[in-house]
Amino acid sequence: MSANVTSHIAYMTRDAAAGLINIIYERRDYPSGSYFEIFWYHWPRDGVFWWEDYEPIVFAYNYKNELCFVMVRRGWRPIFMNPDDILLPPEVRFSGPNHHQFFRMKVEAEQDFDDTTLMSLSSISVTFANITSGQIPSWNISGLSKNIYQIIQEMMRDSCEP
């Protein structure tokens, strides 16, 4: 694992922070120099569902090492964000018992990141020091309709590759 990872801040309820098992890190490199990182936030349960929860946060970089998109999978649906719209350094909020991810945007449409809300949450500064390597269950990679790696690779081809 490289020490060059996308540092970010994660906000979540105190219960979610206490239950967080680990943050699994993956990086896939392309011959062009482009790459993507996935931070899999791992909890013992997914809301009312009995299975373990793995919530991906994806940062994709082009061959110039410029952030070209950010992706989350919320309710099994991939959601892509333009890095020009995201407040940097990145901040993500995990909301609700299913740990849905929301990034802090330059123009906030909702009050997810107001001071009162943030003061009631736990925060984790995610760096190389607090990530781990590990295996992600195949059912979580395949999702409901399409493999997460295929989704990312298609967007990499369209947005990041020369």
pLDDT digits (tens), the chain, 162 positions: 444 689 999 999 999 999 999 999 999 999 999 999 999 999 987 667 667 889 999 999 999 999 999 999 988 899 999 999 998 889 999 988 888 899 988 887 656 677 777 777 888 888 877 788 888 988 888 877 789 999 999 999 999 988
- Tell me, what's the pLDDT at 111? 61
**Cα separation, 54 vs 66, whole angstroms:** 26
pLDDT at residue 139, as a whole number:
83
Is 84 inside any structural domain? Answer: yes
Q: In this predicted structure, what is the pLDDT of residue 98?
A: 81
| pTM beyond 0.85, yes or no | yes
What pLDDT was estimated at residue 118?
78
Q: Is residue 2 part of a domain?
A: no
Question: CB neighbours (10 Å) of residue 77?
Answer: 10
DSSP collapsed to 3 states, 134-160? CCCCHHHHHCCCCCHHHHHHHHHHHHC
Asked whether residue 1 is domain-assigned, the answer is no
Placement of tokens 């791992």 in the chain? 42
Residue 106 domain-assigned (yes or no): yes
Residue 6: name the closest of 94, 116, 88 by CA.
88
Domain count, the chain: 1
Assess if residue 3 is contained within a domain. no
**Domain with 95 in it:** 8-159
Q: Please give the Cα distance from 71 to 40 (Å, whole number).
A: 12
